Structure 1
Amino acid sequence: MTESTPSMQRPDPAVEAASMFPHEDGQPVLALTEEQCWQLLERVRHARLGTRIGDRIDIIPVNIAARGGRIWFRTAPGTKLLELTASPDVVVQADGVLSDQAWSVQVRGTARELTTSAEIEEAEALEFESWVPTIKQHYVVVEPTETTGRHFLFGAEPVHPTYPTD
């Protein structure tokens, strides 16, 4: 593991407590660069998919693979696939929480089912691991239009200056 690729594990406290990403002037919230967002996404297997059909918004857990600036997942026929076909604009959110820090990344984009054998072979090479032992024969890729993320350092909330302290 290189310094530019953060670990998902908390550093050994006996060695040194460290943030996954440096924060300027001790600020507890850091806006992540797009590169940092993808470093994190490429290390996770689980995320949430947000879809919208009319006034209905769904948030669905998915097993993902993020590589080369795109996100893939598999699905079975059903609501998720129907929603993506009717309205391909989606958001994918993944998070990581440690004892002293956390991060959250959102990818907005357009989802489409893979249809060519070359696309499906590329997706199958990513070796998805499913939560549920069901057959998922449909592969979907999300082509990003916007990638944002935040990294958080945990700590006590500061005393509000207008509140009495005693």
Structure 2
Amino acid sequence: MSDIQPTTYLSEEECWERLRGTEFGRLAYHLADEVHIAPINYAVDGQTLVFRTAEGSKLLGVVMNTDVAFEIDEVDEEAELAWSVIARGAARILEGQEARDADNLRLRPWVDTRKFNVVSIAVSELSGRQFHLARPWRHMLPVEEPEPLTEVPD
């Protein structure tokens, strides 16, 4: 048995570092009596997360219920590590100068669609974990066979 802890908790600063270091995550929001989850690209502005969205279910969801959750994660296959950060907070639509200030953030849409609405999430809870992956089943994964060499005629 290893001395490595399988799960370690990330500090609040470590969580913010990871949030600042990525730009793609998942937003969970309420819409009527259902919970939805959608991928978004985002930027960090101080202690808030900012994203753009078009008219649709995400925008309607945050207008109807500001309570949201946001998650990012990563798996490092070589190091056999994974981590996850979850933020909870209140979403609100930015208007006027606040919305224009979003143009100065590292907020780059991945999909070429028009997204005029800027939403900010004031983070009230932040938690993160890092996992050392044991994956005892790895020996059962198929091994890729190398391509056979073919002889070239003289």
TM-score w.r.t. the length of structure 1 is: 0.76
The count of residues paired between Structure 1 and Structure 2 equals: 132
Query: Cα deviations across residues 121-141 of structure 1 (Å, max 9, x unaligned)?
Result: 321101322121100011000
Secondary structure at the aligned position of 2:107 is classed as: coil
What is the deviation of 1:156?
4.2
CA–CA separation in structure 2 for the residues paired with 1:156 and 1:125: 42
More helix by share: 2
CA–CA separation in structure 1 for the residues paired with 2:33 and 2:63: 16
Q: Residues 59-70 of structure 1: matches in 2 within 5 Å?
A: 59-70=37-48
Of stretches 87-96 and 119-128 in structure 1, the one that deviates more from structure 2 is 119-128
Structure with the greater alpha carbon radius of gyration: 2
Letter in 1 for 2:34: R
Q: 1:85 aligns with which of 39, 55, 63?
A: 63
Which consecutive aligned stretches of 4+ in structure 1 deviate over 6 angstroms post-superposition? Answer: none
**Preserved contact between residue 31 and residue 57 of structure 2 (Cα < 8 Å):** no
The runs of 5 or more residues in structure 1 that have no matched partner are 1-24, 158-166
**Match of residue 103 from structure 2:** 124
What is the deviation of 1:53?
2.9
Q: Residues 4-43 of structure 1: matches in 2 within 5 Å?
A: 25-43=3-21
**Match of residue 115 from structure 2:** 136
CA–CA separation in structure 2 for the residues paired with 1:144 and 1:116: 21
TM-score w.r.t. the length of structure 2 is: 0.81
Q: Residues 152-163 of structure 1: matches in 2 within 5 Å?
A: 152-156=131-135
CA–CA separation in structure 2 for the residues paired with 1:148 and 1:64: 18
Identity %: 38
Residues 156 and 62 of structure 1, relative CA distance in 2, 3 Å threshold: closer
**Match of residue 33 from structure 2:** 55
CA–CA separation in structure 2 for the residues paired with 1:63 and 1:156: 30
CA–CA separation in structure 1 for the residues paired with 2:33 and 2:57: 15
